Amino acid sequence: MRKRLLPLALLMLVAAPAWAEHPAECRVAENLTEPNFRLPHVTRAVGAKHLNILVVGAGSSQLPGTSGTGNAYPARLQQALASRLPGVDVKVTTDVKSGRTAAEMVKALPAALAASKPVLLVWQTGTVDAMLGVDPDLFSQSLDKGIKIARSAGADVVLINAQYSPRTESMIALGTYVDDMRWVALQQEVPLFDRFSIMKLWGELGTFDLYSATKKLDIAERVHDCIGRLLADMVVTAAKPEEPPTNGSR
Amino acid sequence: MAPVSTERDLRLDLFRGLALWLIFLDHIPSNAVNWITIRNYGFSDATEIFVFISGYTAAFVYGRAMQQHGFIVASARVLKRAWQIYVAHVFLLAIYLAEIAYVSSSFDNPLYTEEMGVLNFLKNPDVTILQALLLKFKPVNMDVLPLYILLLLWFPPMLWLLLRAPSLALITSASVYAFMWLFEWNLPAYPSGTWLFNPFAWQLLFVFGAWCALGGAENLSRWVHSPAMVGLAITYLLFAFAIAMTWYFPRLAVYVPKWVGDAIYPIDKTNLDVLRIMHFLALAIITVAFVPRDWPALKSWIFWPAIVCGQHSLETFCLGVFLSFAGHFVFTEVSNRVLTQIVVSFAGIAIMVAVAALISWYRQAERRGGGPRPPAAKPGYAGGEL
């Protein structure tokens, strides 16, 4: 599988400028990025030509290095949304610090919401809780609480679960936390961006070599770019005004 | 009440052997072959089977010891077994530390800066290793043996009660389970959280297994074989199967009414959710109904590989954990193609069978050879081993 990647990488070097437009490797099974709930606040904000998004996350929402912030998925999301929604002023602010559990992020949430007044909270969490073995019940409660806080501040929520990380799979038991996020998302009726399944599919298809022991940033940057784009697709689809709810009428 | 039967029930070995294979397959992350394991088709998984059968065999073996040699001797044997399991756990821990140390020194992908934080405990091994020896720090997939140790420590008084007042023992066990839910009992883990397999919950299945071994199964047998019960069990298994399908095909989730979802989720593995117990019981009812105890096939060569693994469960289990580490290592270092995954899975099972057969042969040779071992040591093995 890894060998197949070399020609692909070469191809991408050649096709770099075109690839910036719509990278084929991002495309994954449609049902993974299809939102099953609507984002009414975002719909209204897009109509008002002013979209303000807050990304709250931990270490997997950032990249190291001087150009890390510009290449990490929050910045890529802003760029993808700006090109998908011409004429709309898109602004993405971040509250990202590595090593934070869901409960710690909830604590910082009111202040961050008050500072940026977003219509959408993109909330990435789960990895650190899994690493520390936080009680899954408490984890779910934190998620519920965070969603409630965001809603009362007038923001929709999109949850992002953990990254798929094949090398550390035998060391971090993500399963429970990934499942819990699915259930909370379903119960609270918020779209879940299933980063775990998407990256797992990339790994299986050989889109990205996630086993790679590289110390370089190239794969990481492309992964974040793709996540930003797919996330933008999901937000745009979930905020489309004309379509009837796909799933919200359960 | 006496252990009813003297001949070993091969079905126990067969299903424990199969459970050990499934646990091995489930423990290899990203393994295509674990599609075949039962956890994908319902609520319960191989852990329930393993714990139940372990309780059953423990009662079978130590129940007789307690009747023949008294409480003290039988308890001493149980504790010796718990000690053996502890040693096995520490041995696995050493292998795990070696793997993790290797990964931390060879892997540094910037995409996974956060995830690599899990290796930080290598920076203060003094704390981590001590916590591991106290059974508080339990790496991924190393939760079953600590559970087993605690279940055995709790077993002598339960066995004593089971031999005198089996119903009372079962009620005691169920009460502990109920109190666990009521007061949220669990043991603390390190660095945070609680035990993944809550011993206050899982003891119920262990004690229930023991209760069945000491005559409970006979009492239940008319019930279990009734068509109504079998029908109910099949219905429940189909329901669980339908729910499980919605996990893999999210589009199907729309057809699950909201109140059903609210009622069943989350299905709690840590605290052995009632839905999981019911799923296991349904599986057990179907098994007992369709696989008779004297089924000739149980003695045929087809089932021998699983049976021999089930007869040496501690060794096979430990080997399985080690092999799952090794299998994952092959995926990361060599290849993670589906073909490799299939080869690794089947090679792992073949190794488990080969080692179990070797142990079996060695035990027989040892026993035949006579040697200094007095026959009195036999009863511990007479029903096979735990």
**pLDDT by residue (tens digit) across B315-345?**
999 999 999 989 988 888 888 788 999 999 9
Gap from A121 CA to chain B (nearest CA, Å): 21
Question: Does B226 or B101 have the greater pLDDT score?
Answer: B226
Gap from A2 CA to chain B (nearest CA, Å): 8
Chain B residues within 8 A of A223 when measuring between CB atoms = 111
* pLDDT at residue B136 greater than cutoff 70: yes
Would you state the pLDDT for residue A247? Answer: 53
* pLDDT at residue A5 greater than cutoff 60: no
Cβ–Cβ of B254/A99 closer than 8 Å?
A: no
Going by pLDDT thresholds of 50, 70 and 90, the confidence category of residue B381 is: very low
The pLDDT > 70 percentage for chain B reads 94
Cβ–Cβ of B111/A58 closer than 8 Å?
A: no
Gap from A209 CA to chain B (nearest CA, Å): 11
Chain A residues within 8 A of B139 when measuring between CB atoms = 171
* Per-range mean pLDDT, top range of A11-20, A68-77, A209-218: A68-77
Least confident of A24-33, A126-135, B91-100, B313-322: A24-33
Task: Find all residues with CB under 8 Å of A131, minimum gap 6, and list them.
Answer: A172, B115, B117, B118
Would you state the pLDDT for residue A8? Answer: 44
* Per-range mean pLDDT, top range of A23-32, B77-86, B253-262: B77-86
Chain B residues within 8 A of A172 when measuring between CB atoms = 115, 118, 140
Least confident of A103-112, A145-154, B138-147, B345-354: B138-147
What is the ipTM score, two decimals? 0.81
Question: Does B384 or B314 have the greater pLDDT score?
Answer: B314
Least confident of B15-24, B258-267, B273-282, B357-366: B258-267
Cβ–Cβ of B29/A214 closer than 8 Å?
A: no
Cβ–Cβ of B108/A250 closer than 8 Å?
A: no
Would you state the pLDDT for residue B140? Answer: 82
**CA distances from residue B260 to A101, A187, A249 in whole angstroms, order as listed:** 30, 12, 16
Least confident of A143-147, A165-169, A231-235, B355-359: A165-169
* pLDDT at residue B16 greater than cutoff 60: yes
Would you state the pLDDT for residue A242? Answer: 62
Gap from A87 CA to chain B (nearest CA, Å): 33
Chain A residues within 8 A of B201 when measuring between CB atoms = none
Q: What are the pLDDT digits (tens) for A151-197?
A: 999 999 999 999 999 888 888 889 889 988 988 998 899 999 999 99
Residue A129 φ/ψ, nearest 5 degrees: -60, -40
Are A39 and A156 contacting, i.e. CB atoms less than 8 angstroms apart? Answer: yes
* pLDDT at residue A6 greater than cutoff 50: no
Q: What are the pLDDT digits (tens) for A86-125?
A: 999 999 999 999 999 999 999 999 999 999 999 999 999 9
* pLDDT at residue A214 greater than cutoff 90: no
For tokens 């790994």, name the residue.
A203
Would you state the pLDDT for residue B5? Answer: 53
Between strands A156-160 and A120-124, the pairing is: parallel
Q: What CATH superfamily classification does A30-239 receive?
A: SGNH hydrolase (3.40.50.1110)
| pTM (2 d.p.) | 0.82
Cβ–Cβ of B110/A63 closer than 8 Å?
A: yes
Q: Measure CA of the first residue to CA of the last residue in chain B; give whole Å.
A: 21
Going by pLDDT thresholds of 50, 70 and 90, the confidence category of residue A1 is: very low
* pLDDT at residue B149 greater than cutoff 90: yes
Question: Does B239 or A167 have the greater pLDDT score?
Answer: B239
* pLDDT at residue B109 greater than cutoff 80: yes
Q: What are the pLDDT digits (tens) for B274-290?
A: 999 999 999 999 999 88
Cβ–Cβ of A168/B250 closer than 8 Å?
A: no
* pLDDT at residue B39 greater than cutoff 60: yes
* pLDDT at residue B74 greater than cutoff 50: yes
Cβ–Cβ of A133/B189 closer than 8 Å?
A: yes
Average pLDDT of the segment spanning B1-21: 79
Would you state the pLDDT for residue A17? Answer: 38
How many CB atoms neighbour CB A216 within 10 A? Answer: 10
Chain A residues within 8 A of B266 when measuring between CB atoms = 136, 140, 179-180, 183
Would you state the pLDDT for residue B384? Answer: 44
Gap from B72 CA to chain A (nearest CA, Å): 38
Cβ–Cβ of B336/A211 closer than 8 Å?
A: yes
Question: Does B367 or B171 have the greater pLDDT score?
Answer: B171
Cβ–Cβ of B192/A217 closer than 8 Å?
A: no
Average predicted confidence (pLDDT) for chain B: 88
Chain A residues within 8 A of B99 when measuring between CB atoms = 170
Would you state the pLDDT for residue A218? Answer: 86
Would you state the pLDDT for residue B223? Answer: 86
The one-character DSSP state at A60 is: G
Would you state the pLDDT for residue A114? Answer: 95
Of A1, A170, A220, which is closest to B335 when you measure between CB atoms? A1
Would you state the pLDDT for residue A145? Answer: 97
Gap from A212 CA to chain B (nearest CA, Å): 7
Token pair for residue B253?
A: 């989730």
- Classify A34 as helix, strand or coil: coil
Cβ–Cβ of A98/B325 closer than 8 Å?
A: no
Instruction: Please name the residue ranges forming H helices in chain A.
Output: 5-14, 16-19, 30-33, 40-47, 68-71, 73-84, 102-116, 127-132, 136-152, 175-188, 195-205, 218-239
Burial call B292-322: b when 16+ CB within 10 Å, e when fewer: eeeeeebeeeebbbbbbbbbbbbbbbbbbbb
Chain B residues within 8 A of A167 when measuring between CB atoms = 103, 107, 109, 112, 115, 332
* pLDDT at residue A227 greater than cutoff 60: yes
Are A55 and A122 contacting, i.e. CB atoms less than 8 angstroms apart? Answer: yes
Would you state the pLDDT for residue B375? Answer: 46
Q: Can you give the C-alpha Rg of chain A in angstroms?
A: 17
Which chain A residue has its CA at the smallest distance from B97's CA? A171
Gap from B191 CA to chain A (nearest CA, Å): 6
Chain B residues within 8 A of A133 when measuring between CB atoms = 189, 191-193, 196
Gap from A78 CA to chain B (nearest CA, Å): 20
Going by pLDDT thresholds of 50, 70 and 90, the confidence category of residue B198 is: very high
* pLDDT at residue B385 greater than cutoff 80: no
Chain B residues within 8 A of A64 when measuring between CB atoms = 110, 113
Would you state the pLDDT for residue B3? Answer: 47
Going by pLDDT thresholds of 50, 70 and 90, the confidence category of residue B372 is: low
Interface size between A and B, measured as CB pairs under 8 A: 130
* pLDDT at residue A206 greater than cutoff 70: yes
Cβ–Cβ of B111/A163 closer than 8 Å?
A: yes
The one-character DSSP state at A201 is: H
Of B29, B139, B193, which is closest to A134 when you measure between CB atoms? B193
- Classify A32 as helix, strand or coil: helix
Gap from A207 CA to chain B (nearest CA, Å): 14
A contact test, residue of B30, B104, B109 with most A CBs within 10 A: B109
**How would you class B182 by CB atoms within 10 Å of its CB: exposed for 0-12, middle for 13-18, buried for 19 or more?**
exposed
Cβ–Cβ of B189/A223 closer than 8 Å?
A: no
Going by pLDDT thresholds of 50, 70 and 90, the confidence category of residue B383 is: very low
Average predicted confidence (pLDDT) for chain A: 86
